[in-house]
């Protein structure tokens, strides 16, 4: 069974997210799109950034174009419509806007290359994906932009395909370790404490840091950024959870004294809100850091890109084996090998 058909059998909206820049997420997207006609699936394609341009606007490296088969649909802002090589019809003018103009949902009446862009926020992505499904898409693929893993959040998509590869490091072992770190974060335990969840829901509109214990303390903090010491001052022997409305960062966790770090577990909305590098994560976990998420992320598969824009490459089979050994039961594939 192809990767797209396998994903479509379980999920309606899937994000393709890169572990880093140039790890092959746009190539992965292209491979999934190429499977669609044989799978009998009508795809909707959207992106949290501008995808489909000939060269990457950040690094200057060559980029694969986004190819739309006949019948597929994509989100295209008004300013990019004229650049399409595919024959397009406008299916809907949406209420969403980008820096490139109002977002249109367009259907391909003839195949060809396009430049795809869509809204950035998870809420807007949810809305535009729902509109494409309403217009007849069997499945929607979201192409995540650099450093925007929020598209993998459970609110935005049902599942994620993670793209990793040689752009991460010149050592296969390091690529595997960094990929496994992302998988570990995405696999954190979901909070099941009904009393705690009820308290979080009760204070959701306040968007403040909560300290849950024998009683609930609402801290005068909207974010956990750079306030580890302040939060640490609220933790005592009765504290069970520190609930963050925003991100859990390295500086926040490191700012809490070690003797207090063990007392209360952190709770974040989902794994995409955690910004702690692999080495700091290991060090903090050894000191007692515990983290729960309110919603988990399902990883459908991991794709690998053995080529680095720096000019070196790995053996594809060795990269698949090494990453596979590091991430457990998640399927690991090189989409270029699948298509060859």
pLDDT, tens only, 14-35:
999 998 888 988 889 999 999 9
pLDDT at residue 64 tops 90: no
Q: What is the pLDDT of residue 50?
A: 53
297 close to 285: Cβ distance less than 8 angstroms: no
Q: Tell me, yes or no, whether 167 and 262 share the same domain.
A: no
Q: Tell me, yes or no, whether 20 and 160 share the same domain.
A: yes
330 close to 303: Cβ distance less than 8 angstroms: no
Tokens of 9: 């059998």
Q: pLDDT-derived band of residue 70, with 50, 70 and 90 as boundaries?
A: very high
- At 307, which CATH number? 3.40.50.300
Quickly count: other Cβ atoms within 10 Å of residue 34's Cβ.
16
Q: Tell me, yes or no, whether 171 and 285 share the same domain.
A: no
Q: At what angle do helices 172-186 and 316-327 cross, to 10 degrees?
A: 40
Q: Tell me, yes or no, whether 13 and 51 share the same domain.
A: yes
Q: Give dist(CA 252, CA 93) in Å, integer.
A: 42
Final residue of a domain: which of 256, 273, 293?
Answer: 293
pLDDT, averaged across the chain: 88
Quickly count: other Cβ atoms within 10 Å of residue 136's Cβ.
12
Lowest mean pLDDT among 70-74, 151-155, 269-273: 151-155
Q: Tell me, yes or no, whether 41 and 179 share the same domain.
A: yes
Q: Tell me, yes or no, whether 108 and 242 share the same domain.
A: no
Q: Give dist(CA 6, CA 39) in Å, integer.
A: 10
Tokens of 126: 């949810």
Question: Region 308-316: what's the mean pLDDT?
Answer: 93
Q: What is the pLDDT of residue 54?
A: 44
Say which residues have a Cβ less than 8 Å from residue 100's Cβ, sequence separation at least 6.
50, 77, 78, 79, 80, 117
Q: Give dist(CA 330, CA 254) in Å, integer.
A: 31
Question: Region 257-270: what's the mean pLDDT?
Answer: 90
- Judging by beta carbons within 10 Å of its beta carbon (0-12, 13-18, 19+), is residue 280 exposed, middle or buried? middle
Q: Tell me, yes or no, whether 244 and 103 share the same domain.
A: no
179 close to 314: Cβ distance less than 8 angstroms: no
Which domain, by its residues, includes 229?
A: 194-293
Final residue of a domain: which of 277, 293, 309?
Answer: 293
Q: What is the pLDDT of residue 231?
A: 87
Q: Give dist(CA 193, CA 280) in Å, integer.
A: 27
Q: Tell me, yes or no, whether 232 and 275 share the same domain.
A: yes
Q: pLDDT-derived band of residue 103, with 50, 70 and 90 as boundaries?
A: very high
Q: Tell me, yes or no, whether 174 and 55 share the same domain.
A: yes
Q: pLDDT-derived band of residue 56, with 50, 70 and 90 as boundaries?
A: very low
Q: Tell me, yes or no, whether 240 and 320 share the same domain.
A: no
pLDDT at residue 102 tops 90: yes
Candidate ranges 54-58, 78-82, 219-223; pick with highest mean pLDDT: 78-82
Q: Tell me, yes or no, whether 132 and 276 share the same domain.
A: no
Three-class secondary structure of residue 180 per DSSP: helix
Q: What is the pLDDT of residue 88?
A: 97
Final residue of a domain: which of 293, 313, 331?
Answer: 293
CA 211 centroid distance within chain? 28
Q: Tell me, yes or no, whether 58 and 32 share the same domain.
A: yes
Lowest mean pLDDT among 69-78, 148-157, 175-184, 278-287: 148-157
- What sign does the dihedral 221-223-228-234 (CA atoms) show? positive
**Each residue of 63-93: b (16+ CB within 10 Å) or e?**
bbbbbbbebbbbbbbeebbeebebebeebbe
* Structural domains in the chain (count): 2
């Amino acid at each position: 069974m192809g990767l797209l058909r396998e994903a479509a059998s379980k999920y309606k909206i899937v994000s393709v997210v890169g572990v880093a820049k140039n790890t092959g997420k746009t190539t992965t997207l292209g491979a999934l799109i190429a499977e669609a006609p044989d799978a009998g699936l009508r795809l909707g394609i959207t992106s949290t950034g501008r995808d489909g341009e000939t060269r990457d606007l950040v690094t200057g490296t060559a980029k694969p174009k986004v190819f739309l088969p006949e019948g597929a649909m994509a989100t295209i802002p008004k300013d990019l419509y004229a650049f399409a090589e595919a024959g397009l019809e406008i299916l809907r003018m949406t209420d969403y806007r980008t820096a490139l103009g109002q977002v249109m949902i367009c259907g391909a009446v003839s195949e060809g290359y396009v430049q795809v862009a869509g809204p950035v926020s998870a809420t807007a992505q949810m809305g535009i994906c729902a509109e494409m499904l309403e217009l007849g898409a069997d499945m929607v693929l979201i192409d995540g932009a650099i450093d925007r893993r929020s598209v993998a959040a459970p609110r935005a998509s049902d599942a994620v395909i993670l793209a990793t590869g040689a752009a991460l490091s010149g050592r296969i072992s390091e690529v595997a370790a960094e990929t496994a770190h992302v998988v570990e974060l995405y696999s954190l335990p979901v909070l099941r404490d009904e009393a705690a969840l009820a308290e979080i829901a009760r204070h959701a509109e306040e968007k403040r840091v909560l300290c849950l214990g024998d009683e609930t303390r609402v801290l005068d903090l909207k974010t956990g950024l750079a306030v580890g010491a302040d939060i640490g001052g609220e933790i005592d022997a009765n504290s069970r959870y520190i609930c963050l409305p925003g991100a859990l960062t390295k500086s926040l966790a490191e700012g809490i004294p070690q003797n207090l770090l063990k007392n209360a577990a952190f709770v974040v909305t989902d794994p995409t809100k955690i910004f702690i590098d692999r080495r700091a994560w290991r060090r903090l976990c050894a000191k007692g850091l515990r983290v729960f998420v309110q919603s988990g992320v399902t990883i459908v598969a991991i794709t690998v890109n053995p080529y680095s824009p720096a000019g070196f490459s790995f053996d594809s089979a060795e990269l698949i084996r090494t990453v596979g050994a590091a991430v457990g039961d998640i399927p690991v594939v090189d989409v270029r090998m699948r298509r060859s």
